[in-house]
Amino acid sequence: MAGRSTEQNQDMIALLEDLKVCVTEQDRRRIDALLAQVVDDVSNTASLFHPPQPTYDDRQGEVDVSAEVGSNEDLDIMDEDVLRNEGSRATGFIGKSSELQWLRRLRQDAERSKGASSGLKGPYGPPGDSTEAAQRRTEALRKRQQHDSSIRMRTSASTFYLDNDNIDVSRTVNPFELPSRETAQRLLDGYMTTVQDSFPILPETLFKHQFDQYYTSVMQGMPSPVPPKWLAILNLVFAIGAKYLQLMEADWEIGGQDHHLYWSRAHALGLDGSFLVAHPDLMQIQTTALLAFYFLSIGHVNRAWVVMGFSLRFAHALGLHVRNEDRTATVPQKEILLRMWWGLYSLEGILSTIVGRPSFVLEEYCSAPLPLPLATEQLLDEALTCELHERYRGAGIHQNAPQVASAASEPPNAGSYLKSRVQVGIITQKVMIELYSASVVTKSWKQVQQATAGLCQQLEAWLVSLPSDLNFTQAKDSTSFQRERLMLQTYYIGTKILITRPCLCRLDRRIANQTKASSEFDKQTARLCVGAAKAVASLLPDLIDTTYLYKIGPWWSVVHNLMQALIVLLLEMSYGAVHFPEDGKEILPSIKKLIRWLSTMAKNNEVAGRAYTMALRVLQGLAPRLNADISDLIWEDAARSKDSETFDFEDQFTAGEHGRAYPFSAGADAGAFGGEGMRASDFYNNQTGYASMFGIPARQPQAIPSFLGSLGGGGELLSDFPGLDPMFGNPFVTGYDEENPVTSGEDFFNMDAFMLGSQHRQARS
């Protein structure tokens, strides 16, 4: 009985020791005083029942040192002047979760004297949120800075993204011109087949229906009037599709246009300054989110992150982040809005990770349930949607853990894929908060280790809970959902790298009196980090085929994924493969493979080209110190440079792309539109300054049953547009007088309600 009491006392002492790093300085002194009174008595009593063990007077180094001892180091400071010039402002502040900071640290360490690639050895301050603890951490930082004579490299000098490049908007573009139907269909398909399931910003079935209706009306010589915002959305979809097809090396002689033209049209149609001060609506959310995605796809990540903030502000203003219990809305309507929200959330998560900045979404304020496991076309089945809505009613982001049995049995479809994507994104955001936020410096290294272990467990629980056909760890004979599996695997590996990255440094040189168990944890976690990076290289075929990667992978951020892994491997190489003493030579082949992929991608991807140049330069600096043979890469690079003497890949976008003449116009391709070209005068009245397309007389309606009777809508729909309900207005046809223009688009139609309503009615029309 006495032995049991002693064990309990020892457990209480251990708990108090752990709590010391979480309390104020005054409370810490009280705990120390209490422990000083009882610890000896407990230790003496314990010796009567157990063999001698280390007492709590023996200090644990990992408890006494701040989390800044890890590879992230100073999470709560900015060590450069971001405001100094336009270039540094274009890059902006980059946080420690970004591979750009990792690359900066790697290049900085490589240039230090005596090959001090492991970074500084200390000192490091204590954990705690007291003023005294903060002052001691600041003093330790100043001492480290005094010991480091090297000049701080600017972050903007280590970025391979294109934010420093201009994206000038063409002022001479005709915003109402459109590509031929054939080109437009290719652009739309490129977007829908690769982007839509991961980021369902648009209601797919409805948008395709609108697209078909509009182009049909154009080919008939009577272009249906649509709001400029909708045309802006369409052109952004075209711009994204054009960027994708460019990477796929599609034959652009068919259209002769590039993504910059469509972006210019979208800007002219609805992306001027006025939209920032207008009251939010769904189309504003979609426009800004698509613009953010477009900027991401062309390598302007700082712009993308900023614009995404507008989209999320609009979404919060309309309440998309909370559970929708509006009794006048149907379940399919709610699900469409829900998927839009989670599409925004997923895009925000990627951007926050890339630039290392906080997400604008606070999960504590979010109660929106997870997406239903339904395919896109199944959303038209209201009965099925309602049934699953009731079954998964409590499935929100705040539930304790995935229901492994039920989740694994879910059918593979767009809904279950999005749900899985969202769940791993939630884990990633936890990683950003628990390991990369500024407040982490107040934690001890032991607490960081505990957080790391817990996050790894959550990630593995997510993996086990994946639906069988989406689980990338299970061998599959079918190619069905191959793309979804690869995407989820990519997100899984990226999240694992983020979780384990803080341990990838020479912690054995930084923490005094570290326990053996703590040191072993650091080594094993570092091995997991390097192993995850090697897994990225293993995902890539040995025979380089960039179209394969773009077709089934995250083409919009693939350079981020490759560089995240490559820099981890280069870091381990700079440490002399200390975490892999038995097979350190296996790291170099993975590095070479990733560099070769970047080299091939650089042919038509400037972001990849810049990343390749930086990575090869770093490897060249490391190779002599480590006696690594990279002569094959040097030879290949020389051959590549010779082939590109007349075409500099680093200038192909800034000089060639934006300065290109656009020989194609919809007006010249009159045959595609029944002999009628698409002229600006068809859409815009120079006298009134308003779109003349709104002057087309309305047609006589035809009575058919209303699909959304529960919303109180009427039962008459326009005969030429059977999918439209008059309660939402008609976005294509109106009888308003163009000579007396209205002042608000809402007087023409309620596009928001239409976008939700007509999708479900199409199956009934």
- Two tokens, residue 161: 């993204």
Query: In the predicted model, what is the mean pLDDT of residues 61-78?
Result: 74
Contact 721, 343 (CB under 8 A): no
Q: What does the pLDDT read at residue 211? A: 96
pLDDT in tens, 589-625: 999 999 999 999 999 999 999 999 999 999 998 888 7
* 661 has pLDDT over 80: no
Annotate 589-610 with b (16+ C-beta within 10 A) or e (fewer). Answer: ebbbbbbbbbbbbbbbbbbbbb
Contact 500, 532 (CB under 8 A): yes
* 299 has pLDDT over 90: yes
pLDDT in tens, 251-270: 654 444 689 999 999 999 97
Mean pLDDT over the full length of the chain: 77
Q: What does the pLDDT read at residue 541? A: 94
Please tell me which residue, 145 or 719, carries the higher pLDDT value: 145
* 62 has pLDDT over 90: no
Give the number of other Cβ atoms within 10 Å of residue 263's Cβ: 26
Q: What does the pLDDT read at residue 185? A: 96
Range with lowest mean pLDDT among 390-394, 497-501, 562-566: 390-394
Alpha-carbon dihedral angle through residues 679, 680, 684, 686, given to the nearest 10 degrees: -120
pLDDT tier for residue 31 given thresholds of 50, 70 and 90: confident
pLDDT tier for residue 37 given thresholds of 50, 70 and 90: low
Range with lowest mean pLDDT among 397-411, 418-432, 499-513: 397-411
* 273 has pLDDT over 80: no
Q: What does the pLDDT read at residue 85? A: 86
pLDDT tier for residue 397 given thresholds of 50, 70 and 90: low
Range with lowest mean pLDDT among 54-68, 362-376, 570-584, 592-606: 54-68
Please tell me which residue, 577 or 112, carries the higher pLDDT value: 577
- Give kind and range of the element (H or E) at residue 103: helix 99-110
Q: What is the pTM of this model?
A: 0.78
Please tell me which residue, 12 or 751, carries the higher pLDDT value: 12
Peptide bond into 127 cis (omega under 30): no
Please tell me which residue, 174 or 145, carries the higher pLDDT value: 174
Residues 6+ apart with CB under 8 A from 658: 166, 167, 168, 260
Range with lowest mean pLDDT among 101-110, 348-357, 500-509, 707-716: 707-716
Q: What does the pLDDT read at residue 742? A: 32
Q: What does the pLDDT read at residue 659? A: 34
Q: What does the pLDDT read at residue 168? A: 76
CA atoms within 13 A on the CB side of 337: 26
Contact 96, 68 (CB under 8 A): no
Query: In the predicted model, what is the mean pLDDT of residues 168-179?
Result: 87
* 139 has pLDDT over 70: yes
The winner for highest mean pLDDT among 2-11, 134-143, 336-345 is: 336-345
Residues 6+ apart with CB under 8 A from 745: 227, 229, 751
Q: What does the pLDDT read at residue 719? A: 31
Range with lowest mean pLDDT among 500-509, 582-591, 601-610: 582-591
Q: What does the pLDDT read at residue 624? A: 86
Pairing of strands 716-718, 701-703: antiparallel
Phi, psi (degrees; rounded to nearest 5) at 701: -80, 160
* 736 has pLDDT over 50: no
- Two tokens, residue 102: 């990792």
Specify the DSSP class assigned to residue 444: B
pLDDT tier for residue 113 given thresholds of 50, 70 and 90: very low
Round the CA-based radius of gyration of the chain to a whole number and report it.
Answer: 29
pLDDT tier for residue 535 given thresholds of 50, 70 and 90: very high
- CA-to-CA distance for 561 and 618, rounded, in angstroms? 18
Share of the chain above pLDDT 90, in %: 44
Q: What does the pLDDT read at residue 8? A: 62
Q: What does the pLDDT read at residue 23? A: 57
Q: What does the pLDDT read at residue 445? A: 87
- Give kind and range of the element (H or E) at residue 451: helix 445-465
pLDDT in tens, 673-698: 233 333 333 333 333 333 332 233 33
Beta strands in 621-748 (DSSP E): 701-703, 716-718
* 292 has pLDDT over 90: yes
Q: What does the pLDDT read at residue 478? A: 72
Please tell me which residue, 97 or 58, carries the higher pLDDT value: 97
The winner for highest mean pLDDT among 455-469, 580-594, 745-759 is: 455-469
Q: What does the pLDDT read at residue 431? A: 96
Q: What does the pLDDT read at residue 715? A: 29
- CA-to-CA distance for 339 and 315, rounded, in angstroms? 12
Query: In the predicted model, what is the mean pLDDT of residues 167-181?
Result: 88
Query: In the predicted model, what is the mean pLDDT of residues 413-433?
Result: 95
Specify the DSSP class assigned to residue 548: H
